[in-house]
Amino acid sequence: MTKLNVRVRGIRPASAEVRVLELEAANGTPLPPFTPGSHIDVHLGAGLVRQYSLCNGPADTDRYTIAVKRETDSRGGSAAVHERIKEGDTLEIGAPRNNFELRDTAAHYVLVAGGIGVTPILSMARHLLARGASFELHYFARSIALAAFHDELSAPAFGGRVDFHYALAPEATRAKLRKILWTRRPHAHLYLCGPRPFMDSVEDVASATWPPEAIHVEYFTADQDALAAPRGSFVVKLARSGGDYVVPEELSIAQALAQYGVMVDVSCEQGVCGTCLTGVLGGEPDHRDSFLTDEERRSCDKVMPCVSRARSDVLILDL
């Protein structure tokens, strides 16, 4: 994958828990273009790679802006951003990728964000505002102090388009969502991002009146229930490079192959980012990711080897 060297041009707070980094090309050239909903891989040293959504508008060619929440149970990424990185530092990043693409065919857009899920949603809102599209944004947060980019979204330019919803209990959240989503405008599309329980509630409420093809989601975290499902051993056969390898119950496909010197590119290792997507030529995958669509899972022609497993005794991969 293409890698870029960037310099941290500026750092500022976006809320009591969120730090914003502005990144510019280290050599002063324009950065590769991106589309709303894109993310970048940020290399944080010692093999640590994390994905962060771009929250500025795609019209910006001189910078990428990311926002990182300080997580109390950080796996290393947010701690590194909040404690180690400072203005002027040089970082290595991947070129923008988009697993959450904003389609230009909708007549109206309903953007729903929960917590730090506002980051890709903000980029979409900026893009839609710039092109004069019809949209509304609903932002659910615990408080004003914890609502990232509250000042930007409260600016006159977004007047009448953004609603904030603070400190709602689960049932109050569902009631608010029913009010927002019960009626779907013709050819409207729904985009949502946030913590998994929140997103599950939004999808559940929306399913009554919104067709699946009009609902677009991006997950930041893995499906813990899927990851906790029983794990058996199976054999992986590599079609191109050759070799049959046993994947024991305590290792992922990617981890097992690495022990035999077969390296699969991984990043999030939670089945969220799509970095390790691999073709399947035979056998039946046991999908445990949050990346593939239901239709893609039913096709059984691809798998995420960082988390997914096999229902069949043998899984033949396009490796």
Tens digits of residue pLDDT in 239-297: 999 999 999 999 999 999 999 999 998 877 888 888 899 999 999 999 998 888 888 88
Assign domain 108-218 one CATH number from 3.40.50.80, 2.60.40.2700, 3.40.190.10, 3.40.50.150. Answer: 3.40.50.80
3-state secondary structure of 125: helix
Query: For residue 54, what are the contacts with CB-CB under 8 A and spacing of at least 6?
Result: 34, 38, 39, 40, 64, 65, 66, 96, 119, 120, 123
Please report, for residues 27, 60, 82, 184, 217, the alpha-carbon distance to residue 201 in angstroms, rounded to integers and kept in the order given. 45, 34, 30, 17, 12
- Rg, Å, the chain Cα set: 20
User: What does the pLDDT average to over 214-221?
Assistant: 87
Asked if 304 and 286 touch (Cβ cutoff 8 Å), the reply is no
* Spatial CA neighbour of 10 closest among 2, 1, 22: 22
Q: Please, what is the end-to-end C-alpha distance for the chain in angstroms?
A: 17
User: What does the pLDDT average to over 155-174?
Assistant: 95
Residue type for 300, please?
A: C
Looking at 79-120, which runs of residues are DSSP E strands? 90-94, 108-114
Fold of 225-317: Ubiquitin-like (UB roll) (3.10.20)
- Return the CATH superfamily for domain 3-94: Translation factors (2.40.30.10)
Q: Please give the pLDDT value at position 64.
A: 97
User: What does the pLDDT average to over 157-182?
Assistant: 95
Q: Please give the pLDDT value at position 286.
A: 93
* Spatial CA neighbour of 137 closest among 152, 147, 149, 122: 122
d(CA 172, CA 177): 9
pLDDT 10s digits, 68-112:
999 877 667 888 899 999 999 999 999 999 989 999 889 999 999
b/e map of 277-315 (b: 16 or more CB within 10 Å)?
Answer: bbebeebebbbbbbbbeeeebeebebbbbbbbbbeeeeb
**Domains of the chain by residue range:** 3-94, 108-218, 225-317
